Structure 1
Amino acid sequence: MWDNVLMLIVVGVFSFLCWKITQNEPNTIKFYSKFLLYYLHGSLVGFFVWPVFLFNMKDTKNARIGAGLIKPVTKIIGIKWTFRNDKVIREDRGAVIVSNHQSSLDVLGMFQLWHIAKNMTAIAKKEIFYVWPFGLAAYLAGVVFIDRSKAKNAYDTLKVTSDVMVKQKTKIWLFPEGTRNKDYSNMLPFKKGAFTMAVAAQVPIIPAVFSPYYFINRKKHIFNKGHVIIQFLDPEPTTGLTEDDIPALIERVRTKMIAAYRDLEKEVLNDLPADYPYTTKGYLIMWHKIIYICIITLVTYILKQLFSETPNFIKFKSKFFVFYIWSSIIAIVLLPFFVFNPKNVKNSLFASQIVKHVTKILEVKWHLRNGKVLAEDRGAVVVSNHQSTIDILGMFNIWHVADKVAAIARKEIFYVWPFGLAAYLGGVVFIDRNNSKEAYKQLKVTSEVMIKNKTKIWLFPEGTRNKDFTKLLPFKKGAFNIAVAAQVPIIPVVFSPYYFINRDKNIFNKGHVIIQCLEPVPTEGLTMEDVPDLITRVRNTMDAVYKELSKEVLSALPPNYPLATVD
C-alpha cells in the first residue's frame, strides 16, 4: 500500500511541476527552472570535459571548446544574442575587455562569442571555483580566480595574468562593477583592477555593453523569451598612460558605456510588442498539452515499474544504473585529489570506502570469511571468480582488509569515464587482452611493483563474466604466470552465487553474498612448466568451494523467498 501511496505522491508532485513550468504566466517554479537548466547543462558539460582538459591544462583553447558546448542551451532558455562591432575582439592582440554585469546569464553571452575572440580568458571570483564540476573545468580552461577579500593577493594574480596576456596576445574579460547590478537604470561604480592591468601592460581596453535584460524580473518571477544586444565600443588606448591616469580612464570608459547602455535600452524596449510580456495569455497551447501528457504518462509508467513487486526490465536496470551513477559521482569528486598522487593504491582504498555504501541501496549483504589471509602485509596474487559487475562492489566492501591492492582490468573499462580515469589514477592496471605481448609486459612491470611495495594484485582468471552459476569457467594463465615469476603465493577468493540476480528474467532481489578466502597456495620453487598443474589445482579447489557456498546460501533462503533463481 505504501508503495502505491508514495508513487501517487511522486506523480502528483511531478505533474504539478510540469504544469507550472509549461504555463505562460510567470511563476516561481518556471522562473527558477530556466536557471536550473542553465546551471545543470553547464555542470554536465564540465563533468565531461574537465578530464580532457587535464591533458592541456589552463589552455585558452579549452575555454573555447567548453563555451561551444554550453552555448546551445540558450535556444532552450529562449534568448537571442546579437553582436555589434565584434571586429574589435577579432584582432590578434592582448586586450582587456570590460563589460557591465547584470546576471549569471552574462557568462552565457560570453560563451556565444568566445569563438570570435578565440584566444580569451576571464577573471572570476574564487567562490566560482568551488562550484564543481563547472568551477574545476573553468580553472583547467584558463579562467583566473581571485580572492576579492585579499587585495594584495588579487593584485599579484592580476599582475601575473597581465604578463601572460601580453606574451600570448590573450584577451582578458572582467566585470569592473565587481558584482551583479540589479538596477537596470544605471551602472555601478567601476573598480580599478581591470584598468590598472591594462595600463601596466599598455594594452587597449575594449568596452562591451550588454543591453538590459528586460525579460527577467526576479521579484515578479518573470523569465520570458528575450533579445540581448552585446555592443562593443571602440578600443580605448592606454599607451603612454600611467597609474595617475587611471581614475580619469575609468570615468571616461564608464561614461561611454552608460551612454551606450541607455541607447540599447531604448532600442530593445521600443521593439517589444504592445502586450509584452504576456503575448500568449491563457492555458497551455496544444503542443504543450501533448508533451505534458506524454511526460506524465512516461514518468507514471517508470514509477509503476520501479515500485512493482513483479520483476521487470526497468526495475532490474535501475539497480545497476544507481551503482554506475554513484560510482561516477564519486569519481568526479575524487579525481582532482588523485591527480596529486597518481597511480597510488591508497587512492583506490579511499574511493572504495565511499563507493561501497551504495550496497545498502542495492540491498546486497556481503560476508567475508577467513579475511586474515588478505590482511597479511605481503605481495600476493588474488584470483576470484567473476559473475557480474557487482563483483567490483564486493571488492570495495573488503578492500580495507587487504589494504594495498591493485586490480587488473581490461583496457575497455578505462574509457568508461569518469570511473575509468579515476580507476587508472587509483592504481588499477589496464591491459589489452587482444595484444598478449603488451599485456604480458604490463603484468611483468606490475609484478615487480607488487614485490617491491608488498602489494596484492587482484585478477579474474576466468577472463570474462560467467553467466553459468553452476560451475566456474576455464582459467587463463596470466595470473598464475605472474605468481610463479614473482614467487609469491596465490590467494583464491570465491564469491558465492548471485542467486538473487537473473538477467534473463530481469530479477534483482535482496541478496546475501559470502566471500570466502581460501588458504594461500605457495609458488616457491615452481617454474613455468608447473603452471598448468597449478591452474588445475587452484580451479578445482575454488570450484568445490563455490558449489558448497551455493548449497549454503540457497538452503538458507526462506520458503517464501521471492522468485529465487534456484533452477
Structure 2
Amino acid sequence: MHWLLWVLLIDGSLGICAQFLRKVNYYRRFVHYILCAILASTVGILVSPVFWAIGKQASGNWVVARTFYYLSLVVLGIKVEIEGEEILHRAQPCVLVGNHQSVFDLIMLGRVFPKQTVMLAKKAVSYYPFVGWFMRLSADIFISRGSKQSASDMFKKASEELRSKNVSVWFFPEGTRGRFDDGPNLLPFKVGAFLLAYHAKVPVVPVVVMDIHNLYNKRRLWSSGGTLKIKILEPVPMADVREEDLKDIMNATRDRMLAELKKISPERIEN
C-alpha cells in the first residue's frame, strides 16, 4: 500500500510541475496514456473467454477500445466527436480506412472502433508478449509479409478469413504515421486495404480524423486535452469493381479523405 501512496505523491508533484514545464507535462501524460492502454488490454484478456464461449471473439477488440477511450477521457481529457457514425452500423461488414498521425490514434480508435471488427497485422506481431496474446484472443487477422505469395494472393486469403468470421477490418492505408509541418496532409496510400475489400466484396468506409497538431505534437513535446473530431464518409462500393481499377479507386478515396481532413481540421496554434 505504501508504494501506491508514493506513486500518487510523485505523480501529484509532477502534476504541479507540469503546470509550468511543457516537457514534464508531455512525459507525464504519455505515462498516463501507457497505463490506460495496459489497463484496457488487461480487461480485454480477462473478458475474452466470455466472447469465445459465445462465438464473438472480435468483440474483445470493441471492449478494449471503449475501455481505453473512457479511461483516456477521464485521465487525459480528450473527447471524441463523430459525424456520420450511423454509416458504420449500416455498412458492416466492411474495410475501414483511417489516416494515421501518431500513437494517440488509439484514442480515436477507442471511440470509433465498431463491434465485430478486427485489426490486420503482420504475423510477427502475434508472437509479441501481451499485445500478441490479446490480438490472438480477439481473432485479429495476421498476414505473412515475408512470404513469396503476391500481394493479391495474400489479401485474397485474408478476405476468406474475413468472410468466414463475418467481421469488419481496420486499416491504416498510409502504412505509417504521417507527420507534416506545413499543415494537415496524407501520405500516399498502399493498395492492401482495397485489395482486401475487392476480394471480400465488401465496401471501403473512409474514416477521417482531424489534424491533432494542437492536441499532440511529439517534436514540440506538446500534449493537452481537448476535442478530437472524426468524420465518417460514405462507403466506397467494391462488389462490381475490376482489380485493374483498384489504384484509381484508392487514389480517389485518398483525395476525398484529404479534402475532408483539411475541412474539419482547426487552424494550427504554434505557441
Structure 1 residue 68 corresponds to structure 2 residue 66: yes
Q: Deviations over 1:132-186 (max 9, x none)?
A: 3233112211222335455738765533331233344421110000011112531
Task: Report the Cα distance in structure 1 between the residues aligned to 2:148 and 2:231, rounded to whole angstroms.
Answer: 31
Q: Secondary structure at the match of 2:267?
A: helix
Task: Report the Cα distance in structure 2 between the residues aligned to 1:139 and 1:153, rounded to whole angstroms.
Answer: 24
Task: Report the Cα distance in structure 2 between the residues aligned to 1:205 and 1:108, rounded to whole angstroms.
Answer: 22
Task: Report the Cα distance in structure 2 between the residues aligned to 1:58 and 1:125, rounded to whole angstroms.
Answer: 22
**What is the identity, as a one-letter code, of the residue corresponding to 1:207?**
P
Task: Report the Cα distance in structure 2 between the residues aligned to 1:262 and 1:226, rounded to whole angstroms.
Answer: 18
Structure 1 residue 221 corresponds to structure 2 residue 221: yes
Q: Secondary structure at the match of 1:102?
A: coil
**What is the identity, as a one-letter code, of the residue corresponding to 1:262?**
K
Q: Contact 2:156–2:195 at 8 Å: present in 1 too?
A: no
Q: Secondary structure at the match of 1:164?
A: helix
**What is the identity, as a one-letter code, of the residue corresponding to 2:70?**
P
Q: CA RMSD in A?
A: 2.8
Q: What residue in structure 2 maps to residue 202 of structure 1? A: 201
Q: Secondary structure at the match of 2:169?
A: strand
Task: Report the Cα distance in structure 1 between the residues aligned to 2:68 and 2:150, rounded to whole angstroms.
Answer: 31
Q: What residue in structure 2 maps to residue 108 of structure 1? A: 107
Q: What residue in structure 2 maps to residue 231 of structure 1? A: 231
Q: Deviations over 1:318-337 (max 9, x none)?
A: xxxxxxxxxxxxxxxxxxxx
**What is the identity, as a one-letter code, of the residue corresponding to 1:192?**
V
Task: Report the Cα distance in structure 1 between the residues aligned to 2:236 and 2:105, rounded to whole angstroms.
Answer: 22
Structure 1 residue 30 corresponds to structure 2 residue 28: no
Task: Report the Cα distance in structure 2 between the residues aligned to 1:151 and 1:255, rounded to whole angstroms.
Answer: 32
Q: Contact 2:155–2:195 at 8 Å: present in 1 too?
A: no
1:153-552 matches, within 5 Å, as 158-183=155-180, 184-214=183-213, 215-265=215-265, 268-269=266-267
Provide closer, same or farther for how the CA distance between residues 78 and 277 of structure 1 changes in structure 2, counting only shifts above 3 A.
Answer: farther
Provide closer, same or farther for how the CA distance between residues 178 and 242 of structure 1 changes in structure 2, counting only shifts above 3 A.
Answer: same
Shift, 1:65, TM fit? 2.2
Q: Contact 2:36–2:72 at 8 Å: present in 1 too?
A: no
1:32-47 matches, within 5 Å, as 32-47=27-42
Structure 1 residues 171-180 or 84-93, which shifts more?
A: 84-93
Q: Secondary structure at the match of 1:209?
A: strand
**Structure 2 unpaired stretches of 5+:** 1-5
Task: Report the Cα distance in structure 2 between the residues aligned to 1:168 and 1:138, rounded to whole angstroms.
Answer: 15
Provide closer, same or farther for how the CA distance between residues 249 and 154 of structure 1 changes in structure 2, counting only shifts above 3 A.
Answer: closer
1:82-121 matches, within 5 Å, as 82-91=81-90, 93-114=92-113, 117-121=114-118
Q: Deviations over 1:413-446 (max 9, x none)?
A: xxxxxxxxxxxxxxxxxxxxxxxxxxxxxxxxxx
Q: What residue in structure 2 maps to residue 77 of structure 1? A: 76
Q: Secondary structure at the match of 2:235?
A: coil
Higher relative contact order (CA 8 A, sep 6+): 2
Q: What residue in structure 2 maps to residue 143 of structure 1? A: 140
TM-score by length of 2: 0.82
Structure 1 residues 18-27 or 234-243, which shifts more?
A: 18-27
Q: What residue in structure 1 maps to residue 3 of structure 2? A: none
Task: Report the Cα distance in structure 2 between the residues aligned to 1:33 and 1:144, rounded to whole angstroms.
Answer: 34
Shift, 1:128, TM fit? 4.7
Q: Contact 1:43–1:132 at 8 Å: present in 2 too?
A: no
Task: Report the Cα distance in structure 2 between the residues aligned to 1:154 and 1:31, rounded to whole angstroms.
Answer: 40
Task: Report the Cα distance in structure 2 between the residues aligned to 1:37 and 1:158, rounded to whole angstroms.
Answer: 36
**What is the identity, as a one-letter code, of the residue corresponding to 2:252?**
R
Q: Deviations over 1:17-64 (max 9, x none)?
A: 654443224533321232222222222332354254246188112222
Q: Secondary structure at the match of 2:186?
A: coil
Task: Report the Cα distance in structure 1 between the residues aligned to 2:189 and 2:242, rounded to whole angstroms.
Answer: 18
Q: How many residues align?
A: 256
**Structure 1 unpaired stretches of 5+:** 1-10, 271-275, 279-567
**What is the identity, as a one-letter code, of the residue corresponding to 1:60?**
A
TM-score by length of 1: 0.41
Provide closer, same or farther for how the CA distance between residues 65 and 173 of structure 1 changes in structure 2, counting only shifts above 3 A.
Answer: same
Q: Secondary structure at the match of 1:234?
A: coil
Aligned sequence identity (%): 25
Task: Report the Cα distance in structure 1 between the residues aligned to 2:200 and 2:143, rounded to whole angstroms.
Answer: 19
Q: Contact 2:123–2:143 at 8 Å: present in 1 too?
A: yes
Q: Contact 1:146–1:154 at 8 Å: present in 2 too?
A: no
Task: Report the Cα distance in structure 2 between the residues aligned to 1:32 and 1:126, rounded to whole angstroms.
Answer: 31
Task: Report the Cα distance in structure 1 between the residues aligned to 2:79 and 2:47, rounded to whole angstroms.
Answer: 30
Provide closer, same or farther for how the CA distance between residues 50 and 246 of structure 1 changes in structure 2, counting only shifts above 3 A.
Answer: same
Shift, 1:71, TM fit? 1.9
Q: Secondary structure at the match of 2:206?
A: strand
Q: Contact 1:211–1:229 at 8 Å: present in 2 too?
A: yes
**What is the identity, as a one-letter code, of the residue corresponding to 2:186?**
M
Q: Secondary structure at the match of 2:174?
A: coil
